[in-house]
Structure 1
């Protein structure tokens, strides 16, 4: 497994995993990340890069990219043992009466005072509407935003992810509950680079490209980051000189991860940025939510 900060890399590199998927559909599996949205592709330069590089065809290519991003899976279960997603866990969404039920005056039995932050189930995840350009931060379709934007915490329970403005924070007790309830051994996610971890006391840094965040009775929570020498465009003194990493999961259980760290090749070639990276250094720090409103062999994992 490996992870790509897709809107912060060139579109040629972004397209490469899709090319691999086309030619090796039973060997390559792609998941959606938080940057595969209309908002992030607009803010962090991907849209502008596509429009410039593809000229008259640019708008068509960009629309096709957005359609592709909408169709990507949010999560996977590997060999019944490993849950993988970009952000992580998600809340349960209480049922609401349908319009048809109201019209016919049917009584809908709802559990009173349902905890809005109870842990969601795999069944709820499978039924969530993932085909959204920008994951909602309010309403009934919150699971996509949770899966893409949530982060682990050292505090127990579920709580709003106020730092990001979308998604949740979940504690070690939630990791244990999720693993035990669904007979899993590992959660592998991404979403946090060295810049994000620098601001989170109690968590290990991302120097080696991965961290083990929760070790509980049933298994572990792992964060994986595959971009070395992050961030991409800043001067050398502003980079973290971190390693990237990928994980190899081997049969039959696929639940004993082998970590492989690697360094960037230096000096790095000069590339053009298509957004003002000096103003948006931490790509996950703030969200302008209002602007998101829109009408059988080894498995290698990276994020």
Structure 2
């Protein structure tokens, strides 16, 4: 654990010294939503789609940890692939990549329970790595990928220059990490989550059109089928933790985008039978 996290910690400033908005140009790619400690779902994605590589690039859209029981294992797998393929594996930050949230939703307890001697050191190192993760990824200058959402103040040029190591209460960082879409026009405080906002289709069209983007891919909300469109098809929510509330409560999904940028959805639901399929990957 210390070796992989330490390597990621040493590599992170070098690999992620770019701006908070990371821009890539791919002919094809795969995009995942929240995993929340569901290692079986991550392994099932790899079984179906292939391991990350130069030929199979991935964007993981935050919330790797908390709630599930195998968050640290997910981080070890993702960090290892990040080190192997730094140009083909990208990890956006989610609202759960935060030490205060981790205290409440289980990740801190998991790490301290599994690593009783070095747990505090590992947590400190992980928080450093979390703070270096980009807030957003732009694909082919047409698709914006971020964890939560946007607001009527969102400006990617400003976000790109933000000090992402400090998430201030009035910062655009909170909008990126915590916001949710709503069906009505406008932008109002997200009082349910206590951070970010609810934004409407008018805000989506304004932000995407201003930056000449076609589609916003976000995560942050569990969807029964693993994905859901809103705002006239310009906002797409993807959620990759199946059985999130209970066994059978929802499917997980991931997206594949080709040169035409048309989303192709791959749904799944981990179970005893899928566990046998991914056994060789463990």
> Does 1:262 find its partner at 2:268?
yes
Contact 1:209 1:245 in 2 (8 A): yes
Decide which structure has greater helix share: 2
1:136 corresponds, among 168, 186, 190, to: 168
Q: Which residue of 2 aligns with 1:180?
A: 209
Residues matched between the structures, number: 214
Deviations 1:98-118 (A, max 9, x none): xxxxxxxxxxxxxxxxxxxx4
Q: CA deviation at 1:268?
A: 9.6
1:145 corresponds, among 164, 168, 174, to: 174
CA distance in 1, matches of 2:196, 2:247: 27
Q: CA deviation at 1:241?
A: 2.3
CA distance in 2, matches of 1:128, 1:45: 28
Contact 1:153 1:170 in 2 (8 A): yes
CA distance in 1, matches of 2:211, 2:242: 33
Q: Which residue of 1 aligns with 2:158?
A: 124
1:64 corresponds, among 100, 103, 125, to: 125
Provide closer, same or farther for how the CA distance between residues 130 and 177 of structure 1 changes in structure 2, counting only shifts above 3 A: same
| SS of the residue 1:65 aligns to | helix
Q: CA deviation at 1:120?
A: 2.0
**Cα RMSD (Å) of the superposition?**
1.8
> Does 1:73 find its partner at 2:103?
no
Q: Which residue of 1 aligns with 2:67?
A: 8
CA distance in 1, matches of 2:76, 2:157: 31
Q: Which residue of 1 aligns with 2:224?
A: 207
CA distance in 1, matches of 2:247, 2:172: 33
| SS of the residue 2:120 aligns to | helix
Deviations 1:155-196 (A, max 9, x none): 111111111111011100111111111111110000001xxx
Q: CA deviation at 1:267?
A: 7.8
Contact 1:129 1:144 in 2 (8 A): no
Bigger mean CA deviation after superposition, 175-184 or 51-60: 51-60
Q: CA deviation at 1:137?
A: 2.5
Q: Which residue of 2 aligns with 1:43?
A: 104
Q: Which residue of 1 aligns with 2:61?
A: none
Q: Which residue of 2 aligns with 1:155?
A: 184
Q: CA deviation at 1:15?
A: 2.3
Deviations 1:124-153 (A, max 9, x none): 111222102xx3334xxx111110000001
Q: CA deviation at 1:8?
A: 2.2
Q: Which residue of 2 aligns with 1:167?
A: 196
- Residues 242-253 of structure 1 aligned to structure 2 (within 5 Å): 242-251=250-259, 253=260
Q: CA deviation at 1:61?
A: 0.7
CA distance in 2, matches of 1:223, 1:30: 17
The gaps in structure 1 that reach 5 residues or longer are: 91-117, 194-205, 232-237, 270-303
> Does 1:26 find its partner at 2:60?
no
Q: CA deviation at 1:82?
A: 0.3
Q: CA deviation at 1:84?
A: 0.4
Q: Which residue of 2 aligns with 1:201?
A: none
Deviations 1:187-222 (A, max 9, x none): 0000001xxxxxxxxxxxx2210000111xxx6100
TM-score (norm 2): 0.72
Provide closer, same or farther for how the CA distance between residues 268 and 54 of structure 1 changes in structure 2, counting only shifts above 3 A: farther
Deviations 1:259-302 (A, max 9, x none): 11111113899xxxxxxxxxxxxxxxxxxxxxxxxxxxxxxxxx
TM-score (norm 1): 0.67
Structure 1: 4+ residue segments shifted above 6 A: none
